[in-house]
Amino acid sequence: MSDYRYRLYAGSDADQAVDLFFECFGKKRTIDEWVWQHHSNPYGQGSIVCESDQKLMGFYGVVFRPLMIRGRELTVGHVIDVMVHPNHQMKGVFMSMASAAFASSKVRGVRLLFGFPNDKAIRGHRKANWREVGARQILRHSLTQLQEPEENENGIVIEWSSWKDLALNVEEIDALFQSSSSKRGFIADRSWRWLQWRYGQKPDSDYSVLVCRTEKDGSLKGWVILRTRRFEGKKVGHIVDWLTEGEGDAAQLLESRALRYFASEGCEYAQCLDNRDSERTQPSSPVWYGEEGRTLDLILRSIDDLGDNTPQVGLSEWYLSLGDCDVF
């Protein structure tokens, strides 16, 4: 049996980690994208690697971010890119890395982990006492029925924005997040700090941004992040992420403008996650429908007792987006 050594992931591991990813999944990751994901996250990481003969045989990625739970900020860990070399599976590597990652995260003040495992990985996570709290379905819009904007758009202006322009409104963006988070029980960080890293700094990204402002005084009411790409031979539009002060005109008009943009770009359909605002406010329009077999399972792992003020059952209502899931 090989001798395994478990330790914290280091920046010098990037090349081997990318090679290991290809060995495990048959997909190539660029060094730039990997470094962005695992090195430059502004909140840090607590990832673990498994070494044998000075070569990486396993990786258990954990990147940190804040989560607002009923107005209280808690640092949580997003578990991603979990992998074990095909020749070293079934040897306890996964469970050993998981235990080390839990300890590493706890030392850094992280008390809750979340992730979206594939069908193969879910078995190992169950053994590590992860809890499945709900599935998120990918919704599709055929773009054949589009909502027409009202003539004056209810006193609201929808306009395109660049990341450079958004950077001039950091305080306004953060204020919108604080206002929105106070109205939602569970929502992951959407401050400028996180948005800029997740969307503005991602290598080779082509995200577009629509912002919603009042016509009267120009105050920010919401934003939506979009992208188009080729998927299964078709051009598809993705509503990746969005945030508004609440339900109502801003959300509806942002969605309407986004869909009309996708149609003008020749997209065959649009996609988003099923709980754009929460499980309780599903889209009522029949033109949004679930894609058969396309779901993302949300799982949670408590590192220690979170206390009575954190009702974990409520985390099934967590506001999530495709950006949170790290698959788009």
What is the per-residue pLDDT across 185-198, written as a single tens digit (0 to 9) for each? 788 899 999 999 99
Whether residue 306 has pLDDT greater than 60? no
Convert 143-154 to b/e letters by CB count within 10 Å (16 or more is b): beeeeeeeeebe
Q: What angle do CA 190, 34, 116 make, to 5 degrees?
A: 55
CATH topology of domain 5-129: Aminopeptidase (3.40.630)
CATH of 139-293, one of 3.40.50.20, 3.40.630.30, 3.90.280.10, 1.10.3720.10: 3.40.630.30
Joined tokens for residue 150: 């009202």
The predicted-structure confidence for 193-231, as pLDDT tens digits, reads as follows 999 999 999 998 889 999 999 988 989 999 999 999 998
Mean pLDDT across the stretch 247-255? Answer: 81
Question: pTM (2 decimals)?
Answer: 0.88
Tokens of 169: 């409104």
Task: Check whether 313 has a pLDDT greater than 70.
Answer: no
Kindly tell me if the per-residue pLDDT of 284 is higher than 70: no
> Would you say residue 122 has pLDDT above 50?
yes
pLDDT at residue 160, as a whole number = 95
Residue 308 in this model has a pLDDT that exceeds 50: no
For residue 311, pLDDT over 60 is answered with no
Q: Are 57 and 4 in contact (CB under 8 A)?
A: yes
Per-domain residue ranges for the chain?
5-129, 139-293
Mean pLDDT of the chain: 86
Q: What is the mean pLDDT of residues 302-321?
A: 64
More confident residue, 285 or 236: 236
Q: Tell me what pLDDT residue 213 has.
A: 92
Q: Please determine, for residue 277, whether its predicted confidence score (pLDDT) is greater than 60.
A: no
pLDDT at 279 over 50: no
Enumerate the β-bridge partners of residue 270. Answer: 141, 237
| Strand-pair partners of 51 | 5, 56
